[in-house]
Each structure stands twice: as structure tokens, then as C-alpha cells.
């Protein structure tokens, strides 16, 4: 029954040593796939001609299997439209074998897990306010104009027009003077930090990190082999004097000076100058993670630490995940001119770069003025949504809650001092109710410290929804 055709390398070969005829083996494969739910009612199956070529058998062998499957009601022929799994299959034939459901694990550090983001999730922008129609038009325009060059590998350091747009934005909005060649496009903050560690650090080098801080920073440094040195944060930001006592010869510091993650404080000018002085004297580096520095609701936006850097010791890391949407998986890194060639070479060795089509759409979004307008709109929207959540919490909990509202950011910090539970227990109860609050104590590295619950407010659409979420929290806490 077998033809002289050889199956393709990726095709699942049939067992010709078995006594079971080949058509029967094909029949069994399809029947099992349908009964297990891998193929569902309405799914189209390969044509007999194509499947015969893939399996290296005669077309008649496949047609015999399909004939039996059709006769038993598993498949249905639709003429020129092809053959599909029968839409009228009984429930027992089409039931998917779902994996056993388990309780969702507690999110680590407020990081978004795969799937629909839970309520009060930290670190994600408003999905309902994203300009989808505009984005779709820009994407469609790029797709229509796509040529052969657009289908080839892009530059590992990033799409040139996007690098230019980022440099222009940083110059005007964040006070960061840089040439487009100093901007490297990355898959996000983690990738940017890992790239910095690979270029500038050695195994077991010490790195100052904020305590409490942003969990991915510690995770990346651990993976790349460095020793994180937790340095306390107070109302003025990183306590540089404590870092000098703990590890004066550290090779790097990673900070969030515009809006500290998670406390929300802004690093004072005195601390910024002190940190820059240490880096210059110690021949060390500073990574400025601009986390969510674009969102400031009181006073003008703060200039970036990089704008004060007269000795080229600061590397500036930004991301589009909090200003557009996290699914883009796009960030950027601004490096000193003296390091540009080295970073480009390491980037070239490590990857083929981020998808060029995605970068091109973001570049158009920025160059045509949509980016700045979107940021302005989001600042106003988030200020209202933060106020709505704060008011709802005060209404629901009264004197049992203290809300720490800083000048900006995408989350608020609520302290529930009168409920008789530690913040980790309150967070656990909230998460069981589907509300992804995060305990502040979990962000501490060296020792337990201040407590409270971190709550994202960016996707709260109305005051009524804020009140509903506050009531859910109240019920969850008991």
C-alpha cells in the first residue's frame, strides 16, 4: 500500500512493522485526537493529498481512513471547502480533556502572569483606554507597505527610525541628551539589565539594589552571577551613605529615582548628586530604571538622573510596557557613547533583535505625535482613577486604612493597621478573592520592614467599580 514517496522530516512516521494496516493507523490517530479534544468540532483537517505526501503513503490509503472516519461520524466533507471534524459530534466525542485545575499561585512581586490580568494588578497600563483603532490603522499601513527588506532580519540594536524617535522623546520629555546610536532597543527591562550585566560586570561583582525594590532586578542579577547588596530606601530615595558602608567598592547601583518601586518616593537632588559622585569616584556604573516616571500627578515631571550625569556613568533603561501595553515586549537602553560599540556587538551576538514590524509601528506612533498625546491623556485618566480607588477604600475601611499617595505612579500603597493581620496574610486573602494586591513586606530583601498592600488602579473604569472592589476587599479581610 505504501508509495515510493518519502515522508517529510517533521512528519509523524507510521509503524510499518505493525500488523495493523496503515489506513487503520491513520484512522486511529484521528479518532484519538478527536476524542481527546485535540481536534474539535469544526476544525479543518489536512487534505488527503497533502497528508499522503507527509506520511509517505498512497493517497488511497488516506482516503480509506477518511472514509471510515466519515462513516462513523467523526469527519464531515464540505466539498471544495475541505474536510472538517463533524460539527454535530455528540458531547462525549468532543469533550476536551482539561488538565486538573489547581488554585492559582500567589503572584511574585506583582508581576503579571500569563492570561487575563487580575483586578488591581500592578504595573500594567489601562487596556480600555488604549487607542486600538488608531493602532490598527498604523499596523495595517505598515503591513500594506511591507517589502522584502522588511521581511529580513533587522538590526540587533533596533529599528533606526524607532531609535531616532526614542532619542527625540527622551531629549524633550526626560532631559536625556543622547544620539540615536546610543539607544538600543531590547525586549524589555529584564533584557536591558541582563545586557548591562553581560557587558559591564563580572561574576560575583557587587551591585547596590533598592530595599524594598523591584523583584526582577534581583532575579536578573542572580541569574547573571552578581551579588546584590540591598540598600535601604527612605523618603529621599536610596540611602547612599548606607550603600557606602555596606559595599563601597560595588561595581554598579540599580535605582528607580523618578518614582521608586514600590514606595513611590522621588530621589532628592542631594541624593542624586551623592550617587553620581560615588559612581565617578569608584569608577562604578548606575542603571536608572525609569519604571513609571512618565506618570506624575503633582508638579512638573522630574528630570531623569541621566540628565545630571556629567561623567557618563549612567545607563538609562525605559520600557513601552507601562505606557502602551506589555504584550509589545519592547524596551530600550541608553548607553554612554564610549560603550556603544561594545553594547552593539554583544547585542548582535546575543539575538537577532526585536520584531521589526512591531518596532516600525511604535516608531510611527511616536513620530506622528500620538505617543505624547496618549501620555497626556493617561496622566489625567490615572489621576482620576487613583482618586476613585483611594476614596472607595476610605469609604469601605474608614480609620482602619491609611493611604500613602505619592506624586505619581501606577499603584497606591494602603496600610491596614487596625485589622490584626500582617500584610502577607491580607494579600493572600485578597488574591483568593481574585484581587491581586501585593504585600509591601514581600519587596524587602535584607529584612522585614514597613508593611502595606500595593494596588494597581489603572484599569478601574468607574467609581462604581472602585466601590465594588473595595467592598470585595472588605469581605475578603473578614
Q: How far apart are CA 51 and CA 291, in angstroms?
A: 51
Residues 356 and 389 grouped into a single domain = no
Give me the CATH number covering residue 47. 1.10.10.10
| Residue 471, φ and ψ in degrees, nearest 5 | -65, -40
pLDDT the model gives residue 159: 96
Mean pLDDT over all residues of the chain? Answer: 88
Number of domains the chain contains: 3
Q: Which of 44, 72, 89 is the last residue of a domain?
A: 89
Q: Which of 368, 384, 399 is the last residue of a domain?
A: 368
Write the CA distances from 122 to 60, 245, 249, 312, integer angstroms: 58, 33, 34, 32
pLDDT the model gives residue 99: 40
Across the range 42-69, mean pLDDT stands at 88
The neighbour count for residue 446, using CB atoms within 10 Å, is 14
- Say whether the peptide bond before residue 147 is cis (omega within 30 degrees of 0): no
pLDDT the model gives residue 9: 38
Residues 352 and 381 grouped into a single domain = no
Residues 357 and 378 grouped into a single domain = no
Q: How far apart are CA 26 and CA 66, in angstroms?
A: 8
Domain membership of residue 116 (yes or no) is no
Contact 271, 238 (CB under 8 A): yes
Residue 320: name the closest of 183, 416, 422 by CA. Answer: 183
pLDDT tens-digit series, residues 242-274: 999 999 999 999 999 998 999 999 999 999 999
Residues 56 and 34 grouped into a single domain = yes
Residue 344 DSSP code:
H
* pTM, entire model: 0.82
Write the CA distances from 164 to 140, 147, 155, 232, integer angstroms: 22, 22, 14, 37
Domain membership of residue 343 (yes or no) is yes
Domain membership of residue 334 (yes or no) is yes
Domain membership of residue 130 (yes or no) is no
- Lookup: cell for 135: 493602532
Higher pLDDT residue, 314 or 21? 314
Q: How far apart are CA 183 and CA 359, in angstroms?
A: 13
Residues 401 and 355 grouped into a single domain = no
pLDDT tens-digit series, residues 336-358: 999 999 999 999 998 888 999 99
pLDDT the model gives residue 115: 57
pLDDT tens-digit series, residues 81-107: 789 898 888 644 444 444 433 334 444
pLDDT tens-digit series, residues 392-406: 999 999 999 999 888
Residues 328 and 410 grouped into a single domain = no
What is the extent of the structural domain holding 250?
147-368
Residue 202 burial by CB count (10 A; 0-12/13-18/19+): exposed, middle or buried? Answer: exposed
Question: Which range, of 69-73, 213-217, 335-339, 388-392, averages the lowest pLDDT?
Answer: 69-73
Domain membership of residue 44 (yes or no) is yes
Amino acid at each position: 500500500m505504501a508509495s515510493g514517496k518519502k515522508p517529510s522530516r517533521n512528519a509523524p512516521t507510521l509503524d510499518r512493522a505493525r500488523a495493523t494496516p496503515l489506513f487503520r493507523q491513520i484512522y486511529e490517530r484521528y479518532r484519538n485526537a478527536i476524542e481527546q479534544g485535540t481536534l474539535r468540532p469544526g476544525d479543518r483537517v489536512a487534505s488527503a493529498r497533502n497528508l499522503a505526501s507527509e506520511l509517505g503513503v498512497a493517497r488511497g490509503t488516506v482516503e480509506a481512513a477518511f472514509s471510515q472516519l466519515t462513516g462513523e461520524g467523526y469527519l464531515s466533507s464540505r466539498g471544495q471547502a475541505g474536510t472538517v471534524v463533524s460539527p454535530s459530534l455528540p458531547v462525549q466525542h468532543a469533550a476536551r480533556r482539561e488538565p486538573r485545575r489547581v488554585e492559582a499561585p500567589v503572584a511574585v512581586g506583582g508581576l503579571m502572569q500569563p492570561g487575563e490580568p487580575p483586578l488591581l494588578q500592578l504595573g500594567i497600563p489601562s487596556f480600555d483606554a488604549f487607542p486600538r483603532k488608531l493602532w490598527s490603522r498604523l499596523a495595517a499601513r505598515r503591513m500594506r507597505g511591507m517589502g522584502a527588506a522588511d521581511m529580513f532580519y533587522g538590526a540587533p540594536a533596533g529599528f533606526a527610525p524607532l531609535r531616532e524617535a526614542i532619542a527625540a522623546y527622551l531629549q524633550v520629555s526626560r532631559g536625556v541628551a543622547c544620539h540615536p546610536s546610543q539607544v538600543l532597543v531590547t525586549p524589555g527591562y529584564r533584557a536591558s539589565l541582563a545586557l548591562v550585566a553581560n557587558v559591564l560586570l563580572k561574576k560575583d561583582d557587587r551591585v547596590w539594589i533598592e530595599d524594598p525594590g523591584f523583584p526582577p532586578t534581583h532575579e536578573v542579577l542572580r541569574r547573571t552571577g552578581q551579588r546584590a547588596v540591598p540598600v535601604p530606601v527612605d523618603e529621599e530615595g536610596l540611602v547612599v551613605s548606607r550603600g557606602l558602608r555596606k559595599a563601597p567598592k560595588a561595581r554598579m547601583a540599580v535605582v528607580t529615582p523618578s518614582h521608586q518601586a514600590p514606595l513611590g518616593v522621588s530621589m532628592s537632588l542631594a541624593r542624586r548628586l551623592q550617587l553620581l559622585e560615588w559612581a565617578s569616584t569608584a569608577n562604578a556604573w548606575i542603571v536608572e530604571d525609569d519604571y513609571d516616571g512618565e506618570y506624575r500627578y503633582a508638579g512638573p515631571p522630574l528630570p531623569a538622573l541621566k540628565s545630571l550625569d556629567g561623567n557618563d556613568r549612567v545607563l538609562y533603561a525605559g520600557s513601552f510596557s507601562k505606557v502602551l501595553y506589555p504584550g509589545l515586549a519592547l524596551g530600550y537602553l541608553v548607553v554612554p557613547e564610549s560603550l556603544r560599540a561594545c553594547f552593539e556587538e554583544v547585542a548582535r551576538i546575543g539575538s537577532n533583535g526585536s520584531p521589526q514590524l512591531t518596532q516600525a509601528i511604535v516608531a510611527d506612533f511616536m513620530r506622528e505625535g500620538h505617543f505624547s498625546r496618549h501620555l497626556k491623556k493617561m496622566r489625567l485618566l490615572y489621576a482620576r482613577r487613583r482618586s476613585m480607588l483611594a476614596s472607595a477604600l476610605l469609604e469601605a475601611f474608614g480609620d482602619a486604612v491609611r493611604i500613602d499617595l505619592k506624586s505619581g505612579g501606577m499603584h497606591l500603597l494602603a496600610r491596614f493597621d487596625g485589622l490584626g493581620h500582617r500584610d502577607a496574610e491580607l494579600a493572600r486573602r485578597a488574591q483568593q478573592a481574585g484581587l491581586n494586591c501585593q504585600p509591601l513586606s514581600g519587596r524587602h530583601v535584607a529584612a522585614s520592614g514597613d508593611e502595606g498592600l500595593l494596588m494597581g488602579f489603572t484599569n478601574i473604569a468607574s467609581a462604581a467599580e472602585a466601590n465594588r472592589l473595595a467592598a470585595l476587599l472588605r469581605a475578603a479581610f473578614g
